[in-house]
Structure 1
Amino acid sequence: MAIPSSGNPAAAGGEPTGWTAAGHGAQAGAGLPLPRQRQAPPDGPRQDYLDAFAEDDDLFTFRRSASARPPDPYAAVTDWNTAPAPAVPSGPGDGAPPSGGPAQTGGGRGRTFTGIAAAAVTTVLAVVVAGQVADGPGGADAQAQSATDQVREVRDPASRGDDRETPAEASGAEQPTYEQKMERKYALGATFAGSGKFDAIPGIDKAPGRGQKITYRVDVEQGLGLDGELFAEAVQKTLNDNRSWAHNGARTFERVHSGRVDFVITLASPGTTADWCARSGLDTTVDNVSCDSAATERVMINAYRWAQGAETYGDRIHAYRQMLINHEIGHRLGHGHVTCDKDGDLAPVMQQQTKFVDHDGIDCRPNPWPYPKG
């Protein structure tokens, strides 16, 4: 089927700078439908939004909105209640006699054989995992991990970056906090292309405020090996922070798992992100960035960036993820790209901080928030 396009080419460098998708919108806190366009409204930006940056006069460009779009025809909510396939039954236990014969008694030779067998299994695992890692979501980046470390991941799921239950979880041991999980980087290849099929994260996160209520769904591409529930929690916490687009009660965000929504924030592989962004005339491949695919219902978050971050933020991966969410939702709310204009100032959240913080001889500071003063 034909895919609507904005008609605008992607900005040089792979991240959009112009937006023409149809939508509907309102000033923050007006109680009207969610803005989608990028033209400035007649009254200009909210004064309290500009006041968030004391030294900057023109931080964000507001855009006009148009009519509502039809629901996303590409949404694919799969059955998240499907039980996993049963484990393959194991063979006879150690030392079981063949054909019902008597079990051998323990001894030095038996222990020696057990040690040799264990070493052989470890070696085989190392060879198999090392040979297969290049084909999985980790891609070339995961190959930097030694075969021994990858065998450790097979034998100890606690070292993995996905959401499968670990022995520690099964035993009731203390689990990492939300903050600890958000401070970790996870393996995912820069060129990984996923299945293109999505699962909606189940459950509802009620809107905590009384401002203009915006509803959204969180979709995660199948096969990423990332914690989708962590991503959904991060989106809800970030958007409803007073430093974010819910500032001063202007908006309140509610996550649902089905029905009509204002947008679908989607965690997807670099390949799938590029496909969906191209439907809105945007090229995300040059710098492996994310986008608001404004001709569709989807705000695309590049899973490589979510997992690995960007050089501009270094090890501050938690703050980078907050910036990533706020930046792309900022586009969906009608904001265009702007830059820091004075040495030492915070970069506006709508600066392309994945690509650069300093520019044109001006030294800016990384900043994940639209209203950093809270």
Structure 2
Amino acid sequence: MSRGPGTELVHHHLLDDGSSAPQQRSDTAETSEPTAPISEAGSGQFVLADATNSTSVADPTVTYEIQVEEGLPFDVSSTAATIDTILSHPRGWNGGGHRPQHVDDGDFRIVIATPETADALCAPLQTRGRLSCRNGDDVVINAWRWQHGSTDYVDQIENYRIYVINHEVGHVLGHGHRPCPGAGQPAPVMQQQTKGLDSCQPNVWPLPEELDHP
């Protein structure tokens, strides 16, 4: 997979390792919360998560790699485990027939990046230092959001992480944005929930109609 300009990859192989109801408790791998602040700018160098111990997927339909920008307060192995658990979960895109596999050199990459690096990787999309994106072969997760979530996911950071991974990877799988279907209803995972819920309820997994139709 080709790398974006202005980024350098550093390989570090680390040894350590239902229904769409609103405000669900997280049922993915948990991570310890970092206490260090998120720098607005980083080096543009990334640590590649080792995929050696990832669960093997039979006949994967798409492959991905995971990278974390150097200097961020996120353990690379734990971050990769969280993302792997989200993407392999039966309530996720697997329910729509997709079988993502974590590898060392994937069809696309998922990166956790400082706000300025995220903006550069997302350009010409306007992420303004606080939004994530899918841009070509990159799923770019803004590290500030990975740490803080959004207004509608206060004290629900693990749920926000499920949402943002499912939303941005959903774009890779061919899904476009969806509006809130009605007041009080679960928000589609392809709704731009980071920007607000528009009277919907928070929801982190694809709705049945999202699984059925790109």
Amino acid at match of 1:77: L
Query: How far 1:344 sits from its partner (Å)?
Result: 1.3
Structure 1: how far apart are the matches of 2:163 and 2:173? 15
* 1:256 alignment partner in structure 2: 103
Deviation at 1:185, TM superposition (A): 6.0
2:49 and 2:66 in contact (8 A); partners too: yes
Corresponding residue number in structure 2 for 1:335: 175
Name the residue aligned to 1:364. Answer: 200
Deviations 1:55-84 (A, max 9, x none): xxxxxxxxxxxxxxxx313474324259xx
Cα separation, partners in 2 of 1:326 and 1:180, compared to 1, 3 Å: closer
Deviation at residue 282 of structure 1 after TM alignment:
0.2
Cross-structure match for 1:197: 45
SS in structure 2 at match of 1:320: helix
- Note closer, same or farther for the CA distance 1:364–1:187 as it changes in structure 2 (3 Å cut): farther
Structure 2 residue aligned with 1:188: 37
Say whether the 8 Å CA contact 1:203–1:256 is kept in structure 2: yes
SS at match of 1:350: coil
Task: Tell me, yes or no, if the aligned pair for 1:238 and 1:244 is still in contact at 8 Å.
Answer: yes
Partners in 1 of 2:44 and 2:80 — Cα distance?
Answer: 19
User: Structure 1 residues 311 and 193, CA, compared in 2 at 3 Å: closer, same or farther?
Assistant: same
What runs of 5+ residues in structure 1 fail to find an aligned partner? Answer: 1-70, 83-162, 164-177
Q: Structure 1's 186 and 372: CA in aligned 2 closer, same or farther, altered over 3 A?
A: farther
Partner residue in 2 for 1:151 = none
Q: Identify which of 293, 315, 332 aligns with 2:155.
A: 315
Residue among 191, 196, 199 paired with 1:351: 191
Cα drift, residue 181 of structure 1: 2.2
> Within 1, Cα distance between the matches of 2:174 and 2:109?
16
Following the alignment from structure 2 to structure 1, what is the Cα–Cα distance between the partners of residues 67 and 78?
Answer: 12
Kindly, what percent of the aligned residue pairs are identical?
36
Uncovered stretches (5+) of structure 2, i.e. residues with no partner: 17-27
1:232 maps to which of 72, 77, 80: 80
1:80 aligns with 2:12: yes
Q: 2:23 aligns to what?
A: none
Instruction: Indicate the residue corresponding to 1:246 in structure 2.
Output: 94
TM-score when scaled to structure 1? 0.48
Distance (whole Å) between structure 2 residues aligned to residue 251 and residue 330 of structure 1: 10
Amino acid at match of 2:203: N
Partner residue of 2:122 out of 268, 277, 283 = 277
Structure with the greater alpha carbon radius of gyration: 1
Distance of 1:306 and 1:181 partners within structure 2: 11
Please tell me the root mean square deviation across aligned C-alpha atoms, in Å: 2.5
Measured after TM superposition, the shift of residue 371 of structure 1 is 3.5
Q: Which has the higher strand share?
A: 2
Distance 1:242 1:268, change over 3 A: same
Q: What is aligned with 1:290? A: 132
TM-score (norm 2): 0.81
Q: Aligned partner of 2:43: which letter?
A: S
1:237-260 alpha-carbon deviations (Å, 9 max, x no partner):
111111111115x12121112x4x
Query: 2-side partners of 1:311 and 1:355: how far apart?
Result: 9
Q: Displacement of 1:196 after TM fit? A: 0.6
Q: Secondary structure at the match of 1:239?
A: helix
Q: Which aligned segments of 4 or more residues in structure 1 are displaced greater than 6 angstroms?
A: none
Does the Cα contact within 8 Å between 2:122 and 2:134 map onto a contact in 1?
A: yes
Q: Does 1:217 align with 2:65?
A: yes
Could you tell me how far apart the structure 1 residues matched to 2:147 and 2:37 are?
6
Does the Cα contact within 8 Å between 2:30 and 2:82 map onto a contact in 1?
no
Report the Cα distance in structure 2 between the residues aligned to 1:334 and 1:290, rounded to whole angstroms.
Answer: 17
